[in-house]
Amino acid sequence: MSEQRNLILAIVLSMAVVFGWQYFVGPQKPTPEQLKQQEIAQQQKANPSAQPGAGAVPQAGQKLVRDAALKAASERASIDTPTLAGSINLTGGRFDDLRLKHYHVTPDPKSPEIELLSPLQAEHPYFAEFGWIADAGAQQKGADANTQWRLVQGDQLAPGKDVELAYDNGQGLAFTRRISVDQNYMFTVTDSVDNHSAQPVTMYPYGLVSRHNLPPEQRYWVVHEGFIGVLGGTLKDPTYDDLGKTNETQRFDSMGGWVGITDKYWMAAVAPPQSEQLTATYKAYDANGVKAYQSDFTMKPKTIAPNGSQTVVHHLFAGAKVVDLVNDYSRTLGIQRFDMAVDWGWFSFITKPMFMAIDFLYRYVGNFGIAILIFTVFVKALFFPLANTSYRSMSKMKKLQPEMERLRARFKDDKAKQQQEMMALYAKEKVNPLAGCLPMLIQIPVFFSLYKVLLVTIDMRHAPFFGWVKDLSAPDPTSIFNLFGLIPFTPPSYLMLGVFPIVMGATMWVQTNLNPPPADPAQQKIFAFMPLIFTYMMANFPVGLVIYWSWNNFLSIIQQVVIMRSTGTPVDFLDRLSGMGARLRRGAAPEKPAGPPD
């Protein structure tokens, strides 16, 4: 039957959204590799002049907790900006200690600050580095991971307060590094080499971001984490697993660009001068029993004549991927497509405008939850004509239910004739039995895009709504199984069934009862369980998405009821609820069905 196919299609689409999301998009459990916490046993053997960052591996037994690793390191130049705190390791001139002042582990502002970069001797090393590699066969020493820099100017890096490092290789080359930082997360590293020897020297400037032993954090398939960069004007973003499973290396030649390593919300990336040729590398390798990942670039050789000098200006971004901020760096610093640091996904033409619209509303109302509610109204208004046509068709279908039942009973033994009569009835009443799927088809791309926006934009992280909702990007923290916090019991994650998922399920249940019921009793039972299934499934989704769906359902119910009233279609479900409510308010018992007169 056409109406049965309609309902089956709706069920299939619904289940595809929810179960598909859970399998392909939802949070993934950490892999065994990410859970490895092995002791570092030996030093990686490498030629420091062979590749960027080579030799930057810890000695055996040096794996320490982060604070101990910082204390055990050599001299440091401190960093203190409005957004960052940390230090620069003078061994290698390495950026390996950064905390984000404005972001905390939990919504509680007293919780620890996010630790972005960590030293090589820590459990989870994550650092950035710049230097000079000597030409192959040259006797000169470059400035690399093992270089011991001296602090010659400034004692603390801050906006407007630069620091300067110096290193003399004892062979006639004097290296100078001047470091500045802005109010946010961008460092400018000006590297110079002066040649005081009698021979010309060739050096290759490089920059890298390296990460070892990934922490066992929750990961999402829908959110890119791993290597990232724009090379040759194109986004290059293999995941950790893309290269890590077989320890692959990828190389790219580019004019300018940038490379780095990104998480869901944070990123460390290095950018050379945008007008110069470079070779970039992404690689995964085993370093002392743990998996290591590195993004780096090496520029074309620079020849320093006797009594001459060469200077290269690099940039390092280390911080939160705030949308406005990365867009601004792309414009003001000319870094190629730096705005692509935020993972908008394949449907960026929907997700990015959606975020911009919600962010615009947020600037006026001051609450992302309210902004989502207002945005939903605009989306409903945009698709109102299409949804209106769909709901009118569904209303007519429900109004025709008695006639359709008569046709089924009349031709129950002749399915072909029954189908023919049904199609004739649809044509006569100008009803499209498939029109009821349109609201769901419309909602799927909006649902996906909002889910993506909630997950990837730092602006939504820890964004509160009202009451118990402190983070719109996390699931509803309440549960009916402890009476929403009244019982001192913390349910396991699979029993976290909060207020908003229940509200969403209730609105979906109302919608189910407003729609034309399927003829097949088995289908009726399946359809009746759909709100309950969705309630449990949506409990693990970001509460901001659940709020959107609940509000969208509520608006759809109002629209559908108004249309049903205007077309004379009985809204018996709501009429029964209204009657029961009125009797309860009067204190009367529910009326018994009328029986035969005595």
Whether residues 493 and 368 fall in one domain? yes
Q: Give residue 440's pLDDT.
A: 65
Whether residues 293 and 414 fall in one domain? no
- For the segment 387-408, the average pLDDT, to the nearest whole number, is 72
Radius of gyration of the chain (CA): 31
Q: Give residue 479's pLDDT.
A: 83
Structural domain contains residue 584: no
**Which of 56-65, 94-103, 172-181, 195-204 has the weakest average pLDDT?**
56-65
* pLDDT tier at 108, thresholds 50, 70, 90: confident
Structural domain contains residue 488: yes
Whether residues 122 and 219 fall in one domain? yes
Whether residues 395 and 294 fall in one domain? no
- Angle in degrees, CA 458, 461, 466, rounded to 5: 140
Whether residues 430 and 283 fall in one domain? no
Q: Give residue 575's pLDDT.
A: 58
452 three-class SS: helix
* pLDDT tier at 218, thresholds 50, 70, 90: low
What are the Cα distances from residue 55, in Å, to 59, 173, 184? 10, 21, 31
- Angle in degrees, CA 271, 277, 281, rounded to 5: 60
Q: What percent of the chain has pLDDT over 90?
A: 40
β-pairing, 156-157 vs 76-80, is parallel
Structural domain contains residue 72: yes
pTM: 0.79
- Angle in degrees, CA 209, 186, 346, rounded to 5: 70
Question: 452-505, pLDDT tens digit by residue?
Answer: 888 888 888 888 898 889 889 888 888 887 777 777 777 777 677 889 999 999
Whether residues 338 and 359 fall in one domain? no
Of the candidates 143, 145, 10, the one whose C-alpha atom is nearest the C-alpha of residue 534 is: 10
The span from the first CA to the last CA of the chain, in angstroms, equals 44
Q: Taking all residues of the chain, what is their mean pLDDT, rounded to a whole number?
A: 80
Measured CA to CA, the distance from residue 407 to residue 417 in angstroms comes to 9
**Local structure of residue 110 (DSSP, 8 states):** T
- For the segment 267-281, the average pLDDT, to the nearest whole number, is 95
Measured CA to CA, the distance from residue 19 to residue 15 in angstroms comes to 6
Structural domain contains residue 561: yes
Dihedral of alpha carbons 548, 531, 526, 575, sign = negative
Q: Are 272 and 207 in contact (CB under 8 A)?
A: yes
Identify residue 88 by its one-letter amino acid code: I
Measured CA to CA, the distance from residue 542 to residue 472 in angstroms comes to 6
Q: Give residue 523's pLDDT.
A: 65
Measured CA to CA, the distance from residue 421 to residue 172 in angstroms comes to 97
Structural domain contains residue 598: no
Structural domain contains residue 591: no
Q: Give residue 49's pLDDT.
A: 37
**Which of 14-18, 371-375, 436-440, 477-481 has the weakest average pLDDT?**
14-18
331 three-class SS: helix
What are the Cα distances from residue 500, in Å, to 41, 87, 466? 50, 44, 12
Query: Which pair of structure tokens corresponds to residue 500?
Result: 């908003």
Measured CA to CA, the distance from residue 64 to residue 8 in angstroms comes to 57
Q: Give residue 223's pLDDT.
A: 82
Query: Which pair of structure tokens corresponds to residue 563?
Result: 């249309």
Number of domains in the chain: 2
Structural domain contains residue 80: yes
To 10 degrees, what angle do helices 384-399 and 401-410 make?
Answer: 50
Whether residues 240 and 379 fall in one domain? no
Q: Give residue 114's pLDDT.
A: 92
Whether residues 386 and 330 fall in one domain? no
Whether residues 229 and 272 fall in one domain? yes
**Which of 3-17, 269-283, 296-310, 339-353 has the weakest average pLDDT?**
3-17
Q: Are 213 and 36 in contact (CB under 8 A)?
A: yes
Q: Is the pLDDT of residue 314 over 70?
A: yes
Query: Which pair of structure tokens corresponds to residue 18?
Result: 């929810």
Whether residues 257 and 221 fall in one domain? yes
504-510 long-range contacts, Cβ below 8 Å, gap at least 24?
504/534, 504/535, 504/538, 504/546, 504/549, 504/550, 504/553, 505/531, 505/532, 505/534, 505/535, 505/538, 506/531, 507/550, 507/553, 507/554, 507/557, 508/534, 508/535, 508/553, 510/553, 510/557, 510/573, 510/574
Which of 315, 343, 371 is at the close of a domain?
343
Q: What percent of the chain has pLDDT over 70?
A: 77
Greatest Cα-to-Cα distance within the chain, rounded to the nearest angstrom: 124
- Domain with 130, as residue range(s), is 40-343
Give the CB-side neighbour count of residue 410, counting CA atoms within 13 A. 12
- For the segment 437-447, the average pLDDT, to the nearest whole number, is 70
* pLDDT tier at 57, thresholds 50, 70, 90: very low
Q: Give residue 212's pLDDT.
A: 93
- For the segment 27-42, the average pLDDT, to the nearest whole number, is 36
Q: Give residue 447's pLDDT.
A: 77
Whether residues 310 and 370 fall in one domain? no
Whether residues 332 and 407 fall in one domain? no
How far, in whole angstroms, is CA 67 from its chain's centroid?
A: 29
Measured CA to CA, the distance from residue 155 to residue 152 in angstroms comes to 9
Q: CATH number of the domain that 125 lies in?
A: 2.70.98.90
Structural domain contains residue 589: no
DSSP string spanning 12-48?
HHHHHHHHHIIIIISEEPPPHHHH--PPP-SPPP--T
Higher pLDDT residue, 344 or 16?
Answer: 344
Query: Which pair of structure tokens corresponds to residue 30?
Result: 């950490």
